[in-house]
A and B are shown apart, each in its own frame.
Chain A
Amino acid sequence: DIQMTQSPSSLSASVGDRVTITCRASQSISFFLNWYQQRPGKAPKLLIYAASSLQSGVPSRFSGSGSGTDFTLTISSLQPEDFATYFCQHTYSRRFGPGTKLEI
């Protein structure tokens, strides 16, 4: 089974900061990687699909990169509404990473 890990598990940052979250797969998954944002008490929301494609309506400060086993989600300039938990997910195994909690 493919395992997904994320680092860090939590991260403190400030409004305006540039932040990078890493996701790693236990074996190559090509570019079949999605990123979701979950604000407190809310449902998850698709941000990035196929490793680097921005979902419609998602601000351009979010970007994704990577292929194979190593992937990153970058937020170029943190906004107050970005403080949330971020999950990566391998598209075909349906498996999610454990999440990265982004805190002020």
Chain B
Amino acid sequence: EGQVVESGGGLVQPGRSLRLSCAASGFTFGDHAMYWIRQAPGKGLEWVSGISWNSGSIGYADSVKGRFTISRDNAKNSLYLQMNSLRIEDTALYYCAKGGTDYGDYTFKSWGQGTLVTVSS
């Protein structure tokens, strides 16, 4: 199944930016779609963004469209999420998740432990 490890979270003021990273190991990263999913404290799960194996297909939740940008570097086995214009409601634990080879199949096969983003003044 492999492993993914998120990093880059922290405390940030509203309107500022943050970049999350996800380092993958133990599987052929370049073969798989990858996703970001978040969970606000005490709340449920919300899909944030996804990217196909070759970056040819990318999608965003309406709540982050225009503010967040997903990218990947297959040579570095890494996934990224650039978060701009952060809002208080973006406060959450952000999970990186491995998908299948088909971008359209949003089955999240394995997850990292998450990185916490807190947006507060």
Task: Judge whether A43 and B114 touch: CB under 8 Å.
Answer: yes
- Is B26 in the interface zone, CB < 8 Å from A? no
- Is B57 in the interface zone, CB < 8 Å from A? no
A95 and B104 CA atoms in complex are apart in Å by 13
Please, what's the 1-or-0 string for A88-104, where 1 marks a CB less than 8 Å from any CB in chain B? Answer: 01011111111100000
Q: In which size bucket is the chain B interface?
A: 10 to 19
Tell me the minimal C-beta distance from B5 to chain A in angstroms. Answer: 11
A95 and B1 CA atoms in complex are apart in Å by 23
A95 and B113 CA atoms in complex are apart in Å by 20
The A interface is mostly helix, strand or loop, or mixed, namely loop
- Is A63 in the interface zone, CB < 8 Å from B? no
Task: Judge whether B95 and A91 touch: CB under 8 Å.
Answer: no
| Chain A residue at minimal CB-CB distance from B104 | A92
A39 and B113 CA atoms in complex are apart in Å by 12
Task: Judge whether A91 and B105 touch: CB under 8 Å.
Answer: yes
Selected contact of A96 from candidates B44, B104, B109, CB within 8 Å = B44
The B interface is mostly helix, strand or loop, or mixed, namely loop
Task: Judge whether B45 and A87 touch: CB under 8 Å.
Answer: yes
- Is A78 in the interface zone, CB < 8 Å from B? no
Tell me the minimal C-beta distance from A49 to chain B in angstroms. Answer: 5
- Is B85 in the interface zone, CB < 8 Å from A? no
Chain B neighbourhood of A87, CB < 8 A: 44-45
A91 and B100 CA atoms in complex are apart in Å by 12
| Those of B71-112 within 8 Å (CB) of chain A | 95, 104-112
- Is A36 in the interface zone, CB < 8 Å from B? yes
| Chain A residue at minimal CB-CB distance from B50 | A94
- Is A44 in the interface zone, CB < 8 Å from B? yes
A42 and B112 CA atoms in complex are apart in Å by 9
Task: Judge whether B110 and A46 touch: CB under 8 Å.
Answer: yes
Chain B neighbourhood of A36, CB < 8 A: 45, 108
Tell me the minimal C-beta distance from B6 to chain A in angstroms. Answer: 10
- Is A18 in the interface zone, CB < 8 Å from B? no
Task: Judge whether B112 and A43 touch: CB under 8 Å.
Answer: yes
- Is A34 in the interface zone, CB < 8 Å from B? yes
User: Residues of A with Cβ closer than 8 Å to B?
Assistant: 34, 36, 42-46, 49, 55-57, 87, 89, 91-99
